[in-house]
Amino acid sequence: MTHPDHQRKGLASRLLRVALDQADAEGRDAYIEATVDGYPVYVKAGFREIDRFSLSLEKHGGMPGEKMTVVCLIRKPVSRNTS
């Protein structure tokens, strides 16, 4: 997650790019569980949604009944022709 003071500056996208470049170089799938707010960043990076679930925040110090939606996404490696 990116601290709210530093969101919308491209920092998460730059960090993600480093990780995806490594995954692509190794031919590996990339998997992530994202918040609904972060979802567009991952879709733009080529991830596709495979599942979503609701997490009770009450059990982790949240307000009674407070929940968060978590989106599960996967991205297949992208072959980059370097010639």
Model confidence band, residue 83 (pLDDT cutoffs 50, 70, 90) = low
Mean pLDDT of 41-57: 95
- The per-residue pLDDT for 82 is 59
Whole-angstrom distance, CA of residue 19 vs CA of residue 76? 13
| Residue of 55, 56, 48 whose CA lies nearest to 74 | 48
More confident residue, 14 or 21: 21
Q: Which CATH class is domain 4-75?
A: alpha beta
Q: Give the C-alpha separation, 75 to 47, whole Å.
A: 4
CB 33 within 8 A of CB 71: yes
